[in-house]
Amino acid sequence: MSLLLTEGLGRRFGGLEAVRDVDLALREGEVRALIGPNGAGKTTLVSMLCGRIAASSGRIHFAGREVTRLPAHRRIRMGMAYTFQITSIFAELTVRENVRLAVQRVADDAALELRVAETLACVGLEGRADQRAGDLAYGHQRLVEVAMGLGQAPRLLILDEPTQGLSDGEVAGFVALIRAVARETTVLLIEHNIDVVMALADRITVLNFGRVIAEGAPAEIRADPVVQEAYLGG
Ligand SMILES: Nc1ncnc2c1ncn2[C@@H]1O[C@H](COP(=O)(O)OP(=O)(O)O)[C@@H](O)[C@H]1O
Ligand SMILES: [Mg+2]
């Protein structure tokens, strides 16, 4: 059974069909990359999955339930976590406080501080826990966001361009982190860095003008002439 399933999912913005008729099925445990040119509809698609924006058409099922009209906080409680392109950390709070806020969305119990500490250790930020988040380097701020997603112990972690703006060394660290996370969590990763995609993805879905134009294993996608034309630049 699929952890996440969409049927005919679509979203219009006025006259623009940003996402059209998308059928997506994520198997529990896989790492799926979602790629496509700028404006292809990737952010719009995952925004519908997590309930930040409403679908114009179609359905979304998650963990065996239809969630198409459920509010975002209910989907979070069901095990969906996400980080978006735009940094959403609270700059004035410490790293620990940011992560604590995220963990509290799904659990507020005696084990809270332990979970926060474990999550910080998982992403390698334990040494910066008491720094003001806004004072961190950009790459570390992105890690805080990943920690905020992971702190919710999600069944599905959705990451929208997490390596954007990272140095090569930081990208390598990120790849290792997601490999470790993927042992326990299904991951849906929007990513422009094709090396990161090839290193992490079990399967790749390619979006162009709002539609899925290809889907398959990394080697198949890399060899697909339609994908090369639309995205990989021939
Ligand atoms: N809130 C919005 N209002 C109007 N148009 C939007 C909105 N969000 C996205 N779009 C448009 O939808 C299309 C897909 O955008 P987006 O999902 O952000 O693409 P991607 O993440 O693949 O770069 C683009 O043409 C974009 O301009
Ligand atoms: Mg986007």
Q: Residue 45 in contact with residue 34, Cβ under 8 Å?
A: yes
CA of 150 to the centre of ligand 1 (A): 26
What lies within 8 Å, CB to CB, of 188 at 6+ separation is 4, 26, 32, 34, 46, 49, 156, 157, 158, 159
Of the candidates 209, 221, 224, 218, the one whose C-alpha atom is nearest the C-alpha of residue 21 is 209
Q: Does residue 90 line the site of ligand 1, with CB under 6 A?
A: no
Mutational pocket test of ligand 1: of 9, 11, 12, 13, the residue with most ligand atoms within 8 Å of the beta carbon: 13
More confident residue, 170 or 84: 170
The ligand 1 atom nearest the CA atom of 85: 21
Q: Is 40 in the pocket of ligand 1 (CB under 6 A)?
A: yes
- Percent of residues, the chain, with pLDDT higher than 90: 81
* C-alpha span between 171 and 162 (Å, rounded): 9
Of the candidates 134, 137, 140, the one whose C-alpha atom is nearest the C-alpha of residue 174 is 140
Residues 204-228 have a mean pLDDT of: 93
- Quick one: which atom of ligand 1 is closest to the CA of 11? 12
47 CA closest ligand 1 atom index: 17
Model confidence band, residue 233 (pLDDT cutoffs 50, 70, 90):
low
Question: Where are the extended beta strands (E) located within the chain?
Answer: 2-13, 16-27, 31-35, 57-62, 65-66, 80-83, 156-160, 186-190, 203-208, 211-216
- For the chain, list the domains and their CATH numbers: 32-43+72-232 (3.40.50.300)
Say if CB 96 and CB 172 are below 8 A apart. Answer: no
Among 80-94, 183-197, 206-220, whose mean pLDDT is lowest?
80-94
Mean pLDDT of 141-162: 93
pTM: 0.94
Q: pLDDT (tens digit, 9 = 90+) per residue, 92-146? A: 999 999 999 999 988 878 889 999 999 999 999 999 999 999 999 988 998 999 9
Q: How confident is the model at residue 234 (pLDDT cuts 50, 70, 90)?
A: very low
First and final CA of the chain: distance in angstroms? 36
At residue 110, the pLDDT reads 86
List the residue whose alpha carbon is closest to atom 2 of ligand 1. 13
Nearest to 79 by CA among 187, 177, 6: 187
